Structure 1
Amino acid sequence: MCEGIHAGRGVARAAALVAALAAGGCSISFPLGSLVGEDVATTSSVAPAPSPLSPELTAEDWRRARSALEVALDPFGNGTSASWDNPETGVKGAFLPLGQPYVKDGDVCRAFLADLSLQVGAQAMQGTACRPSGGGWSITEVKPWRKPA
């Protein structure tokens, strides 16, 4: 009779152990990124955002343009235009700062005109760019510009 009680306790302990392991398994976590190789291609159907100036600009065009924008809008600069070009694509342009820099929501902002010579033709834009303290300029608004009549 004692053997039946001990056997029943053994089965109960084994069942408790299996239940504890099953419940504990639910709380184990590990990074799934480690299971995926780093050479996995992204399959997103959303294309990277184009340049805020024109969808005609390549990434390299925009990199060069952004450098000229930084120079033209520099609040400590001389306020003259800054030009850029990309000999590989034939695209070029220039930025002309308008007015004085001003502070908006803690950022330094400045209006500008942009002249672009794109493969599809010339394009003139007007806009505003802002820069947080210690950061780079970001175009906050831009629209086509037409010379006043």
Structure 2
Amino acid sequence: MTLILIGLGSGGCSLSRPDAYARTDAADVTGALGKRPASPQVPTESDLAFARTAASDVLTRGNKDSSQPWENPETGARGSVTPLSQAYSAEDGRTCRDFLASYVNGRSESWLQGAACKAGHGRWEIHTIKPWTRG
């Protein structure tokens, strides 16, 4: 009886591929309904600091149809910031502008939307930056 249990326990479950235990990412996991989408990653405060600096730089230059790349060497996250519209006057009288920023970290890609207003010495201060929602 012991030999039968040992035979059943080791037979039929053997793996022939040497990489059978290779690490998989969450995006590679499959379920009964197929591949699950990767969950969007939330930018770290450090990543957001680099995106804010890029947004301020591209808005300060004021070039039409320009983008500013950014990268955080600590986390490997990267992206670019692109102004969306012409400057407008906010309720408090300041000159403001909206922008869209890409956020790429590993295999995950998402978008952030933000608004900045002109501060002293012609620099732009970021007032909002949050996940982009279509609509």
Indicate the residue corresponding to 2:94 in structure 1: 107
| Per-residue deviation, residues 33-56 of structure 1 (Å, max 9, x unmatched) | xxxxxxxxxxxxxxxxxxxxx853
Note closer, same or farther for the CA distance 1:97–1:77 as it changes in structure 2 (3 Å cut). same
Q: Percent identity over the alignment?
A: 32
Measured in 1, the distance between the counterparts of 2:129 and 2:117 equals 10
Is 1:128 matched with 2:110? no
Measured in 2, the distance between the counterparts of 1:139 and 1:67 equals 12
Indicate the residue corresponding to 2:82 in structure 1: 96
Is 1:69 matched with 2:55? yes
How many residues of Structure 1 are paired with residues of Structure 2 in the alignment? Answer: 93
Gaps of 5+ in 1: 1-53
- Which portions of structure 1, spanning 4 or more consecutive aligned residues, are displaced by more than 6 angstroms? none
Note closer, same or farther for the CA distance 1:118–1:145 as it changes in structure 2 (3 Å cut). farther
| Per-residue deviation, residues 2-22 of structure 1 (Å, max 9, x unmatched) | xxxxxxxxxxxxxxxxxxxxx
Q: Which amino acid aligns with 1:80?
A: S
RCO higher in 1 or 2 (8 Å CA, sep ≥ 6)? 2
TM-score by length of 1: 0.51
Aligned-residue offset at 1:75? 6.2
Measured in 2, the distance between the counterparts of 1:89 and 1:141 equals 19
Note closer, same or farther for the CA distance 1:63–1:142 as it changes in structure 2 (3 Å cut). closer
Q: Which amino acid aligns with 2:93?
A: G
Indicate the residue corresponding to 2:130 in structure 1: 142
Aligned-residue offset at 1:120? 7.4
Measured in 2, the distance between the counterparts of 1:89 and 1:118 equals 8
Q: Structure 1 or 2: larger helix share?
A: 1
- Residues 70, 79 of structure 2: 8 Å contact kept: yes
- Residues 93, 114 of structure 1: 8 Å contact kept: yes
Gaps of 5+ in 2: 1-40
Indicate the residue corresponding to 1:30 in structure 2: none
TM-score by length of 2: 0.55
Of 106, 115, 118, the residue aligned with 2:105 is 118
- Residues 60, 124 of structure 2: 8 Å contact kept: no
